[in-house]
Homo-oligomer: A and B are copies of this chain.
């Protein structure tokens, strides 16, 4: 009896997943191949799919089915966990009316295209009104979802269950405290040169290098692909169809290389999730913080590490002999790790990166409190960049127009980037400890021990463990920012020849 109802549940949730993933295909297409005049209808098409998925999900029948199953004593613990998580999600979604979902989807469609247009014209004004609309909708959403302490808590919870302002304030305060003196010390040391990253790197060859790097990471091109988009991202339509995107700047090798490895880390996680749990919590990623731990682990701990490049740098030199013949491995390694306050988050070094995130986090909190509005963003943004990073923002393109997130309505997301980095450092410390021969293997191009560890400790759990539980299960303890500080101090004292 329960087994039949469980099958009904699986069928219903697979159907909802079909609609959600179909919507994701339409969004992927929108950001890669959609002809410009197709935008308007596409917005409605995505809105229809999103609304129908939401309606199906919050239908009373779904609630009864889940409640009935959650009270059954005939399910396996694994099945029961799926049901409990779906019920939690149901109760949360039930608070959002379907017409609100449609309004939000259509508004984000408009704001995404306004963001593209604003970037093309390098003028925030074109983005201001649609963004303000999104901000107001997100405030309403926070009210609909409800919160105890801060409206922003309600939104952060969407990306990492249980994450809140109080805990994040605390983590970010300790990050600021540790990073500030490190940056002061580094500023006074001799600086590595990274001018070589801005020489000439032809598009076609960069593309091929990116594909080669993804292959060496064991990203499965039978279960995924890479395309070009305005802003790199990863999406998936099942764990057997994972789409990465990248962008290529012929005068900036770093832009492509580390966005490629970063998205590759996301992609490996999606490909590693249990495919037989398609549509169920057991087949979904844990949280965005853990997702980011995967991308940041590959991008930074591995992809900006010396062992990785001991193998791969030769290949890069072969791709671009004219630009890199005079740069040796040591120069390359130091150059790609140069610490330098900058304007663009996705191109920032591992240390100043966190200030980019903290600025966005603090700004979003104020937007959700209502103490800041869309029109105030450029001035506030520029002021904070001066305060935290000492950099003058010359225009909106290099300032508050750089990230796609707000245009998608993704408020509460940014903190997970830094928290993901902290998780990454903690995982990395354990991976290295448990695989003593790892550095040697990586020096010969073999990162498979890392992937094996992740396939064992991270990927199989889907959403069945939350971030904290997963961290504890994989490393024995909850998130501890000293792992990151230790990692950073060791790496950068070596590179800069300083003691922190």
- A: residues with CB less than 8 A from B are 14-15, 18-19, 21-23, 25-26, 29, 33-38, 40-42, 44-45, 47-49, 52, 220-225, 227, 237-238, 240-241, 278
Contacts and interface: CB of A to CB of B under 8 A. Distances in A.
Contact of A21 (B37, B45, B221, B222): B45
14 contacts: A18-B45, A18-B48, A19-B48, A22-B23, A33-B225, A33-B227, A36-B222, A37-B222, A37-B241, A38-B223, A38-B240, A42-B238, A45-B237, A52-B52
A49 B18 CA distance: 8
Q: Quickly give the copy total for this chain.
A: 2
Contact of A22 (B22, B220, B223): B22
Contacts of A44: 14, 18
B38 A241 contact: yes
Contacts of A18: 44-45, 47-49
A222 B40 CA distance: 13
Contact of A240 (B37, B47, B223): B37
Nearest to A19: B48
Majority SS at the chain A contact face: helix
Nearest to A23: B22
A49 B19 contact: yes
Contact of A25 (B25, B36, B221): B25
Contact of A238 (B25, B38, B223, B238): B38
B41 A237 contact: yes
Given A29-B25, A41-B278, A222-B36, A48 B240 contact: no
A241 B19 contact: no
A28 to B, nearest CB: 8
Nearest to A49: B22
B42 A241 contact: yes
B22 A240 contact: no
B35 A241 contact: yes
Contact of A224 (B35, B222, B223, B227): B35
Contacts of A48: 15, 18-19, 22
B35 A221 contact: yes
Given A41-B238, A52-B52, A222 B35 contact: yes
Nearest to A56: B52
A262 B52 CA distance: 37
Nearest to A220: B37
A470 to B, nearest CB: 25
A426 B4 CA distance: 61
Contacts of A38: 223, 237-238, 240-241
Contacts of A33: 225, 227
A183 to B, nearest CB: 43
Nearest to A47: B18
A496 to B, nearest CB: 43
Contact of A37 (B23, B47, B223): B223
A228 to B, nearest CB: 12
Contacts of A22: 22-23, 25-26, 45, 48-49
Contacts of A41: 21, 237-238, 240-241, 278
A39 to B, nearest CB: 8
A46 B45 CA distance: 15
Contacts of A227: 33
A25 B237 CA distance: 13
Nearest to A33: B225
Given A18-B45, A22-B22, A240-B40, A35 B278 contact: no
Which 8 residue pairs are nearest across A and B when measured between Cβ atoms?
A38-B241, A18-B48, A41-B238, A37-B240, A37-B223, A18-B45, A37-B222, A38-B240
Contacts of A47: 18
Given A37-B220, A42-B237, A52-B52, 6 more contacts: A15-B48, A19-B49, A22-B26, A37-B241, A38-B223, A41-B238
A35 B238 contact: no
A33 to B, nearest CB: 6
A221 B34 CA distance: 10
Nearest to A48: B18
